A and B are shown apart, each in its own frame.
Chain A
Amino acid sequence: MANPQMVMYDEEFKQINSVIEKLLKEANAKVIFLVDKNGQLISGVGETERFDTTSLASLTAGNIAATGGMAKLIGEKEFSILFHEGEKDNLHISIVGGRVILVVLFDSRSSLGLVRLRVKKASDELTIIFGGLLKKAEEKEKSGDTDFPFAEITDDDIDNLFS
């Protein structure tokens, strides 16, 4: 398969959330969320209820994919940082550890410089956590110890979803 399965466990989820919570405070941001490159929302902190984070996640991934395609066409590996400036709110989008997208939404209470600085530090921490997560998932898969809840689903379970 093209990519290993993305799996998230409690322990890493907490670690990740504490990193982005800290980033939220230090960068004076409104919302921060993490998205898988395939468009799946991993986690979000801040005023998330004010925004449609599922749609934002999907469009962010599309955005990163499109700019990645542009990068390849001009001979770059990727564009690792994108910045969108609005009248009030701005988006800082960056790729973490080659696989995950970190999105920071901020307004005039913060600044691009501050966000960039804090994102850099948080990215290093997140890269380590996601690296460990990937290894853990691979090891679990190798040892066959997946404790995967779907191994025991029945056809009835699946049919019930559509009833």
Chain B
Amino acid sequence: MSFINYASREINCKIVYYGPGLCGKTTNLQFVYQKTAPDAKGKMISLATETERTLFFDFLPLALGEIRGFKTRFHLYTVPGQVFYDASRKLILKGVDGVVFVADSQEERMDANIESLENLRVNLQEQGYELDKLPFVVQYNKRDLPSVLPVDNLRKELNPTNVPDFEACATTGEGVFETLKAVAKLILVDLKQGK
């Protein structure tokens, strides 16, 4: 849940990037980090193995600016995508305000996408959330690769409820900010409605 501090006039929200291993969650955060003005970001923390696979999480605090005199901060987290890190993924979902599902568009990763999305649903339920009621967006990443599936196929499997979705290439940054913007907007609209 977001944390509203009337004393320091701040609102903090938590966004989690979820998806199968090597889909580009960390790359998304790295691009946001590179392109954000120094005064608007904190340090990016990556708890990763020596081979740069995320071990626990990546963390990037962003200060977007003020709304009605309240500083609006978003804390971006990624989960470790590899299947056997499930216990860690559950922990990171605690207190989540919005979720970005990063799908790997390559044909051979479709099963991994579906498994990860199902895992997201189950893990959210364990924390008392429902994916369909949370601010949620989908990103079809790696659109630059040769063996990608058409977006319509991906959409059919991964976005049946028609939440906002975006094509992306996180290494070049295409679609990265559009995705972040969309989920942040959904979170703020939720806050506005007092959910």
Binding site for B on A (CB under 8 A): 1-10, 12-14, 36-40, 42, 52, 54-55, 58-59, 62, 65-66, 68-69, 146, 148-153, 157-158, 160-162
Contacts and interface: CB of A to CB of B under 8 A. Distances in A.
Contact of B67 (A6, A55, A161): A161
Interface of B: 1-8, 11-12, 14, 42-43, 45, 47, 56-57, 59, 61, 64-65, 67-70, 72, 75, 87-88, 90-92, 94-95, 127-129, 177, 181, 184-185, 188-189, 191-192, 194
Nearest to B44: A55
A40 B64 contact: no
A154 to B, nearest CB: 9
A6 B1 contact: yes
B7 A10 contact: yes
B181 A162 contact: yes
Contacts, number: 132
A40 B184 contact: no
Contacts of A14: 7
9 contacts: A7-B3, A7-B4, A13-B5, A40-B95, A54-B42, A54-B61, A62-B47, A62-B92, A153-B188
B163 to A, nearest CB: 17
SS class, residues of chain B in contact with chain A? mixed
A149 B11 CA distance: 10
Contact of B3 (A40, A69, A153): A40
A7 B128 CA distance: 20
B64 A10 contact: no
Contacts of A42: 3, 5
A39 B64 contact: no
A152 B68 contact: yes
Q: Which 6 A-B pairs have the closest CB atoms?
A: A38-B95, A13-B7, A2-B128, A65-B91, A40-B3, A8-B5
A38 B14 contact: yes
A24 B42 CA distance: 26
Nearest to A41: B12
Given A10-B7, A39-B75, A42-B5, A59 B188 contact: no
Contact of A149 (B7, B68, B87): B68
Among A1, A59, A66, the most chain B Cβ lie within 10 Å of the Cβ of: A1
B99 to A, nearest CB: 14
B8 to A, nearest CB: 7
A1 B1 contact: yes
Contact of B43 (A3, A6, A55, A153): A55
Nearest to A157: B67
Contacts of A150: 11, 67-68, 70, 188, 191-192, 194
A157 B184 CA distance: 12
A162 B72 CA distance: 11
